[in-house]
Amino acid sequence: MALSIRMQWLPKAGNRDDEYEDAAWPERSLTTTQAVVRCAVADGATESAFAGMWARQLARAYGRGAFDADGWKHGLAHEQTAWQAAIAAKPLPWYAEEKARSGAFAALLGVTFGEEISNDNGDIRPWQALAVGDCALFQVRGDALLTSFPVVDAAFFTSRPLLIGSAPHSNTTLTEYVRRASGDLQPGDRLYLVSDALGLWWMQAVERGATPWSQLDDALAQRRRSFGGWIDSLRRAGQMRNDDVTLLRVTWLER
C-alpha cells in the first residue's frame, strides 16, 4: 500500500516566499510505494545567520538517510562542514561575516517509515522518529489522537528551544537532547509533521477539547491558496502566531 504525502508551507505574513526559513523533505507532495520512506520538517531560527539554508540542509540530509541511527554524529559533522564552506564562498559585508561566525540554528523532526509487516492483527508499517527542538509529530487514527512527539502540552513551545547549530562548538551536549520515538501505522492512519507555530495551535486546540486534525484535513482538501487563506485567518484571529508554517501529512492509503 502506498504512502500519500501532502506538503504545505507559508512564510510569515508580510514576508516574501524567499524569506521562508522552514524546510521539509520531501519538498513537494507525492505518493510513493517505496519500502523505506523518510520525511522531515526543519525550522530555522530567524535571529541566526542563513537559518533557512541550514534548515534546508538538515531536512535534505535526513531525507537522504544521513541521520540514521549510528550515522547521526557523522552526518551532522558533514552538514556543518558543508554549511561553513558554502558561507565562506559568499561575498559578505563585515557585519554579516561576524554574525555567520556564530552559525545558524534550526529545529529538526525526522520520521522514517519501514517496510510493511503483516501479522495476526493485520498490516502495520513501523516508524521511528527523532527530534531536536520544537517541531512536532502527531499521529491520528480514525478520529483519535494517538501520539504527540516530542510535545506533551502547549507549554512545550517556548521562545528558546534547544536547536541544532551549524557550528560544531554549539552542539557539544546535543546528543543529550536528541529525542527518539517509535510506533506503527495502520491503513488509514495520518501522521502530521509540523513546525512550531502550527504545533502550538494544534496543542492549544486539543487542550480546548477540539480536533485540530479535522480543520487541517479540510484545509488540505482545498488548493494551496485556500490553505494559505486558512492560515491567514487564524493569524488575524490571534489563534496562530505570525511565523513560518510547514506541514507534512503522511497517510497510509487503504486498499
Closest alpha carbon to 232 in 222, 223, 242 = 242
pLDDT, residue 170, reads 81
DSSP H/E element including 198? helix 196-207
Q: Residue 121: which pLDDT band, with cuts at 50, 70 and 90?
A: confident
The whole-angstrom separation of Cα 185 and Cα 250 is: 10
pLDDT, residue 48, reads 77
Mean pLDDT over all residues of the chain?
A: 91
Amino acid identity, position 13: A
95 vs 157 pLDDT, higher one = 157
DSSP state of 240: S
Does position 2 have pLDDT exceeding 70, yes or no? Answer: yes
21-24, long-range: CB < 8 A, 24+ apart: 21/45, 21/46, 21/51, 21/52, 21/55, 21/244, 22/52, 22/55, 22/195, 22/244, 22/245, 22/246, 23/52, 23/55, 23/56, 23/58, 23/59, 23/60, 23/106, 23/246, 24/59, 24/193, 24/246, 24/248
Helix (H, G, I), strand (E, B) or coil at 237: coil
Average pLDDT estimate for 112-132? 91
The whole-angstrom separation of Cα 86 and Cα 216 is: 37
The whole-angstrom separation of Cα 152 and Cα 166 is: 27
Which residues fall within 8 angstroms of residue 157, CB to CB, at 6 or more apart?
Answer: 134, 151, 196, 199, 200, 203
What is the domain class of 3-134+159-191+243-252 according to CATH? alpha beta
pLDDT, residue 153, reads 95
Please give the model's pTM, rounded to 2 decimal places. 0.94
Amino acid identity, position 167: A
Average pLDDT estimate for 27-32? 96
Does position 95 have pLDDT exceeding 70, yes or no? Answer: no
The whole-angstrom separation of Cα 111 and Cα 137 is: 9
Greatest alpha-carbon pair distance for the chain in Å reads: 64
Q: Residue 223: which pLDDT band, with cuts at 50, 70 and 90?
A: low
What is the phi/psi pair of residue 48, to 5°? -95, 165
Does position 250 have pLDDT exceeding 90, yes or no? Answer: yes
Q: Residue 99: which pLDDT band, with cuts at 50, 70 and 90?
A: confident
Q: Please answer whether residues 223 and 237 qualify as being in contact, where contact means their C-beta atoms are separated by less than 8 angstroms.
A: no
Closest alpha carbon to 91 in 100, 103, 81, 80 = 100
Closest alpha carbon to 228 in 3, 15, 4 = 15
pLDDT, residue 94, reads 63
69 vs 23 pLDDT, higher one = 23
Q: Please answer whether residues 165 and 158 qualify as being in contact, where contact means their C-beta atoms are separated by less than 8 angstroms.
A: no
pLDDT, residue 96, reads 67
